[in-house]
Amino acid sequence: MKIKIKIIGLISILWMTNMYADDLNDLRSGFLSPPIDGHAQTWWHWTSPFVTKKGITADLTSMKAIGYSGAHLFVTNSSPYPEGRYPEMLSQEWLAILEHAGKEAKRLGLNLGIHNCPGWSLSGGPWIKPENAMQMVVSSEVNISADTLQKIVLPQPETHYNFYRDIAVLAFPDVNMHEKPQLEADFSIDDPDKILDNNKETFIKLPIKEKDTKAVITLKYGQPFEARFIELSFGEVHLFVKGKVEASSDGIHFREVAAFDYKIRTDLQSPKCIRLKENTGNFQYFRITFMHRPYRVWMTPVDIRLNDIRLLTSSMIPDVDSRNSAMEDSYSFKPFMSDYISEGIDPSKILDLSAKMLPDGTLLWYPSEGNWTILRIGYTTTGKCNAPATLSGLECDKLSKNGLDAHWQGMMSKIIERIGYLNILKYCIIDSYEAGGQNWTSGFETEFLKRRGYSLQPYLPILVGYVVGKPSESARFLYDFQRTVAELFAENYYDYFTELCHKNGLLSITESYFGPFDYLRCARKADIPSGEFWIGAKTPISCLYRSAGHFHGKKYVAAEAFTTDEKQGRWLQHPQQLKEYGDRAWAQGVSLLISHSFVHQPYLNVRPGFTLGRHGAHLSRTNTWWKYGNGWIDYINRAQFLLQSGKPVVDILILSGESDPNQYFQIPELSLAGYNYDYCCVDDLYDYITVRQHRIASPSGVTYSCLSLGEEKYFTKKTLETVYHLLSSGAVILGSRPLGSPSLADKADEYNELVEKIWGSSIQGEIRKVGKGKLINSTDYLSVMKCLGILPDVKTPAGISTLHRRQGDIDIFFIYNDSSRMVSQDIKFNVCGNKIPEFWDADGAKIDTIALWKREGNYITIPVTMFPYESRFVIFHPGYVPHLSMIRDEKTRKENPFGVSAHIIKNKVCLFFTKPDTVIVVDDDRRNEKIGVGHVYPPVDISDDWQVSFPPASGTPDTIHLNKLKSLSENLSDSIRYFAGTATYRRKFIITEKMKHRSLKILLQLGKVRNIAEVSVNGKKAALLWKEPFSIDITDMACLGNNTLEVAVTTLWVNRLIGDLRDETAVPETNGWPDWVLADQPDSGGGQYSFSTWRGWKKEEDLQESGLIGPVRLEFVEVR
């Protein structure tokens, strides 16, 4: 029996060993030759109707050559183009061009994706009828008294595209004062009544488009009164204005009673209610000062359209459009300030007169007494259109599947019908949300009743700014309203988009953020959740994308990568800079880089050519370094294979918020302490989270040690019920007692009973047993981790970011030095079992077993030296190799002395010395040995006597001689200073017998390179160097005696662009376009060598460093 057990045990060990070996072999194989689906991809912008088949072929061929796996087509209107006849998008002629692109992609083995509509925002086109477009709540107001004798006609509210539908007609006692004031202004107004008539069709213009300008309007009333709010109605889509409101009793002495500051990218132009300071008394004069506010860089300042001004005595809702889903990025519970206690309309006095209005607006009702306000509430299309596009129309309804169905039929069905047979169309995309707010759809009231459990009819005045009942009740209704909108966005737009993609054999890529919805909930169903990052900003990437990927088991977490604006772009990008940003994104959970952007070039010879306006980065075949960019892309593809392998290792799951759901804050104290965390949304809490052996389990199989309720202060009853269930099942949950529910649907007694069940009388920091689980009344993450005995995943020096994945028994760590300083310190990895560490170099496709490390309890400690912005993969897998546990300088006793490093060569530990030294080494069996080197050959400087040759037709001499290396931009000759392209540097160097012996390695150090260097030694390609340090081991290529060194250095476009601007030679043009460009020539024949639809530079700006700058040295390493 014992023999049988031993045999079974041995078989198990052998089986496990083989399984681990298979995992490791698969990982190594995929790393060295990454599967194409995980490769880098690119946006492919057709920025004008000028698209050519020859340009398409050249574009796609260059994408394949550099190593991309696919291109995502965006058809936009974002660059000028020559006059001519061009096919309209989706016409048969245009579809034939698209079909050509599909055939070429198939020939080259590339996948294609396409944005779901023309432009990049968002889902619309001329096929969308107003009834299937985005809808908004609108209203008109009539104020009457009981002695009214004339017929009451309710004006039809604001109407767009001749589409309007009524929701309700409601009446309630009027508490406002309606005296029309006298108006004065410090600028010319032809008719003051235009802004006092409560009519959006009449307006004035505030002359404040110029910097530091202002416009002042003063209102004088017949008698003093107490105003609570001022209502301003503007008529701008891009609303950028700030100002203040002052009040006075005598028209001379004013004091400020309110301020406002609007910076709204897409405004639905609903009135803005601004609360005046409480208890400030009665005033007769009110002065409103409107001031210029800087716009975003891509917007054109205008004189602001002002439709109306009203002073109100009733209780109103401040900035209601930020609370009713009328604005982008506005979904949250916003309780009123504690001093705002004035009750609004008595709900019992609101009359529903909907049945008493005739189709022409005539109201068959008269009040019996008092003054009344009558609201005619309805909805119309927001008027938002897809952009920027030549084929533009209304945006589809995001709250109804009918909207997306109509849109899909309008565009994607036609695309699929034409090129679907090629089987290369793989993706469909929704870019980041830029469509403005939406707060209604047909049948919304039914959805609200079904989801919230009560009718919204009595609360409709809240949507247009009136307080109904207590302010707190109105705030809670608005949260319920926003939540209903958010749920419909998720289900009927984002979820349904993925459903339509799958029905048509496509994968969905969505950037679900910046809209009035729960970002994480909307990312749930996407096949590839995606974000974005911009060059020039070190702002951490939102945890949103990685959390959606981790929690829901998405292999690919994408990023629209390397986007630039005006100053940061301008052809300044090069692989080393791009690597810094890409590595940072990887460390924060991104696993698929989609470059922004490759712009279609209709010409073959004009460079750099067409652009996406001022936006970059300009990553296309006309970039100077494109033919040398494959080294960078190969690096990306190998790295992404590892980042897409296995499952993430994460410690904590955090609720992103319920009352304020889009809170994906970076938590530096956790990251710095070596802990990892993800976020989930409240719907994930309801639908997916389970408890498995006291751990929080996600549907992807990733488990977490605990669930944090975050900084949330308000939970609904449903959420508390879910939390209580998880606790009863054994979960560990940390969070503080809530202040209350954000929902009007929750009853206080039931709610408070749940709070008591969960928190009881626990105080801050206390651990309370609830069912099989633990409730920790705290949000102090580090204290909780320590209390639970959860060790950090990794311990790093400051500035080092890490990411951890696990495939079987193999641990994959990505470490990134996100700082401008070199780091040379220990990193401790929490890795269990008998495993050995290896460095996997994604640049050189090399795998090196680490020769110096030691086991310290739960951790393996590795001394690591990293250059600024350098990254490494550290892989741990079962096995054994001899290694050193310590290197100590004999004299200084310092561990890991500078200039000495350990390496494994042919299964033997060797030491590399770059300077004379003697060290004591300790191996893994704790045996000591003294190893020393008395002499290392000193470096040899070869920075002088270089020949530099230039390509033909570049405006330069064929060859120049440099006595000493320096930047080409410092050359006295303009033709050299302005050069852009690849210059080839050549010189001889001598290797003596003392320099070359069996224990010596020879390193070539190029010093400063601007920007990419391809090195050849003795006529053989040695390496393509695209990042610092520009260094290469040439031991096996150098020979005794004379050697030839050749360095082909590629510069950026910048100096050539500036140089051409400085050249004032006249160039023949036709309709504003240079004739040489129209003829697709590489230059003007008279000094112009560059052309771009957007230059980005001015002739007076400084040139950039360029070329091989050095110092160039031969350095020597003694090996022992």
Contact 122, 431 (CB under 8 A): yes
For the chain, how big is the Rg over CA atoms in Å? 34
- pLDDT tens digits along 648-687: 999 999 999 999 999 888 999 999 999 999 999 999 999 9
Is residue 551 helix, strand or coil? helix
The residue with greater pLDDT, 972 or 342, is 972
Q: Where are the alpha helices (DSSP H) in 998-1093?
A: 1054-1062, 1075-1078
Alpha carbon distance 487, 138 (integer Å) = 22
pLDDT at 178: 87
Within 49-134, strands assigned E span 70-75, 111-115
Which CATH topology does 648-787 take? Rossmann fold (3.40.50)
- Which CATH number is associated with domain 794-933? 2.60.40.1180
Confidence of residue 11 (pLDDT cuts 50, 70, 90): very low
Alpha carbon distance 850, 110 (integer Å) = 37
pLDDT at 198: 86
- Which CATH number is associated with domain 177-313? 2.60.120.260
Q: What is the mean pLDDT of residues 861-884?
A: 96
In this structure, the strands spanning 1008-1010 and 1041-1050 are unpaired
Report residue 1043 as tokens: 């050697």
Nearest Cα neighbor of 357 from 135, 142, 138 is 142
pLDDT at 19: 58
pTM beyond cutoff 0.85: yes
Give the number of other Cβ atoms within 10 Å of residue 200's Cβ.
18
pLDDT of 778 above 80: yes
Give the number of other Cβ atoms within 10 Å of residue 1098's Cβ.
10
pLDDT of 410 above 80: yes
pLDDT at 337: 85
pLDDT at 1: 37
* Residue that has been written with the tokens 């991309």 in this structure: 68
Q: What is the mean pLDDT of residues 793-821?
A: 97
Is residue 1057 helix, strand or coil? helix
Confidence of residue 17 (pLDDT cuts 50, 70, 90): low
Question: Which residues fall within 8 angstroms of residue 253, CB to CB, at 6 or more apart?
Answer: none
DSSP per-residue codes, 42-56: EEEEE-SS---HHHH
Identify residue 454 by its one-letter amino acid code.
Answer: Y
pLDDT at 481: 99
Confidence of residue 2 (pLDDT cuts 50, 70, 90): very low
Segments making up each domain of the chain, as ranges: 40-127+392-436+470-646, 177-313, 648-787, 794-933, 940-1062+1099-1119
Report residue 366 as tokens: 């008269």
Burial class (CB in 10 A: 0-12, 13-18, 19+), 798: exposed
Is residue 348 helix, strand or coil? helix
DSSP per-residue codes, 711-731: T--B--HHHHHHHHHHHHTT-
Confidence of residue 771 (pLDDT cuts 50, 70, 90): very high
Among 291-300, 492-501, 547-556, 857-866, the least confident range: 291-300
Burial state string for 960-971 with b = 16 or more CB within 10 A and e = fewer than 16: bebeebebbbeb
DSSP, res 146: T
- pLDDT tens digits along 1002-1053: 999 999 999 999 999 999 999 999 999 999 999 999 999 999 999 999 999 9
Alpha carbon distance 785, 808 (integer Å) = 25
Report residue 488 as tokens: 């419909």
**Angle at which helices 496-503 and 401-410 pack, to 10 degrees?**
40
**Angle at which helices 92-108 and 53-66 pack, to 10 degrees?**
30
Identify residue 276 by its one-letter amino acid code.
Answer: L
- pLDDT tens digits along 86-142: 999 999 999 999 999 999 999 999 999 999 999 999 999 999 999 999 999 999 999
Alpha carbon distance 397, 377 (integer Å) = 19
Averaged pLDDT of the chain? 95
Within 420-472, strands assigned E span 425-430
DSSP, res 538: -
Is residue 561 helix, strand or coil? strand
Contact 395, 133 (CB under 8 A): yes
Please tell me the total number of residues recorded for the chain in this structure: 1120
pLDDT of 921 above 50: yes
- CATH of the structural domain 940-1062+1099-1119, one choice from 2.60.120.260, 1.20.1050.10, 3.30.70.2740, 2.60.120.10: 2.60.120.260
DSSP, res 193: G
Is residue 8 helix, strand or coil? helix
pLDDT at 576: 98
Identical fold for domains 177-313 and 940-1062+1099-1119, yes or no, is yes
Which CATH topology does 40-127+392-436+470-646 take? TIM Barrel (3.20.20)
pLDDT at 4: 43
pLDDT of 404 above 80: yes
Q: What percent of the chain has pLDDT over 90?
A: 91
Alpha carbon distance 13, 2 (integer Å) = 16
Q: What is the mean pLDDT of residues 1087-1091?
A: 96
Question: Which residues fall within 8 angstroms of residue 766, CB to CB, at 6 or more apart?
Answer: 776, 777
Confidence of residue 796 (pLDDT cuts 50, 70, 90): very high
Confidence of residue 149 (pLDDT cuts 50, 70, 90): confident
Report residue 1013 as tokens: 């260097």
Contact 772, 806 (CB under 8 A): no
pLDDT at 999: 75
Confidence of residue 586 (pLDDT cuts 50, 70, 90): very high
Q: What is the mean pLDDT of residues 923-931?
A: 88
